[in-house]
């Protein structure tokens, strides 16, 4: 782990991506995702983003593609492509709503069965990771992550555009 003095350097001539919190979090996230994907591949045949869509639809159904994109932090096009692949695989079904521009997404029986199977695998992996931390470290880590998320959602003074709700 980088020392505080290393993390505090701002000289561009001494640039090191490990100085950026966003890079370090992204690296850890990618490593965790890769480990999860390795657990899923034999069991599922779907990608990690597709699994995340399954989880979101399961937890929020009926869910529109627009709401899915907001919950997942994806642009509408990405969410739409993921939904299309999951529909083609028979895991999600689109149900018409009263609005011709929108559909409600729901899991099929096959989608629910796969979600249950993969959720069990994901939670087992989650517990294995957290087992390496004490209870106090777990609480501290989750609290810090929540605080960082709250700070990241806050408007940036002088910046344009909206922040995606996570």
Domain tally, the chain: 1
- Burial class, 112, CB count within 10 angstroms (exposed 0-12 / middle 13-18 / buried 19+): middle
Pick left, alpha or beta for residue 133 (phi over 0 → left; psi -120 to 50 → alpha; otherwise beta).
beta
Q: What is the pLDDT of residue 2?
A: 47
58 is a domain residue: yes
For residue 166, the model assigns a pLDDT of: 44
Q: Is 148 within a domain?
A: no
On whether the CB atoms of residues 91 and 110 are closer than 8 A, the answer is yes
Rounded to 5 degrees, what are φ and ψ at 116?
Answer: -60, -45
Does residue 65 belong to any structural domain of this protein?
A: yes
Instruction: Identify whether 140 is part of a domain.
Output: no
CB 152 within 8 A of CB 145: no
Residue 94 lies inside a defined structural domain of this protein: yes
Instruction: Report the distance separating Cα 72 and Cα 88, nearest Å.
Output: 20
**Residue 135 falls inside a structural domain:** no
Residue 164: Cβ within 10 Å count: 14
Q: What is the pLDDT of residues 81-140, one digit of tens each?
A: 999 999 999 999 999 888 777 889 999 999 999 999 888 888 888 888 899 999 999 999
* Residue 45 within a domain: yes
Instruction: List strand residue ranges (DSSP E) for the chain, in order.
Output: 92-96, 103-107
State the residue range of the domain holding 36: 20-130
Calculate what percentage of the chain has a pLDDT beyond 70.
86
The model's confidence at residue 8, banded by pLDDT at 50, 70 and 90, is: low
On whether residue 105 sits in a domain, the answer given is yes
Q: In this structure, what CATH number is given to the domain that contains residue 72? A: 1.10.10.10
């Amino acid at each position: 782990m980088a020392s505080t003095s290393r993390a505090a350097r701002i000289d561009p001539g001494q640039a090191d991506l490990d100085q950026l919190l966003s890079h370090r979090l992204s690296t850890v996230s990618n490593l965790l995702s890769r480990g999860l994907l390795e657990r899923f591949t034999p069991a599922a045949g779907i990608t990690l983003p597709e699994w995340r869509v399954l989880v979101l639809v399961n937890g929020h159904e009926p869910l529109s593609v627009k709401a899915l994109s907001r919950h997942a932090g994806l642009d509408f096009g990405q969410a739409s492509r993921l939904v299309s692949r999951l529909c083609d695989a028979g895991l999600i079904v689109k149900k018409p709503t009263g609005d011709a521009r929108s559909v409600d997404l729901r899991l099929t029986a096959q989608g629910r069965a796969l979600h249950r199977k993969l959720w069990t695998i994901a939670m087992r992996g989650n517990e294995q990771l957290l087992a390496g931390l004490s209870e106090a470290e777990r609480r501290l880590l989750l609290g810090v992550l929540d605080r960082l998320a709250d700070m990241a959602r806050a408007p940036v003074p002088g910046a344009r555009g909206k922040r995606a709700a996570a």
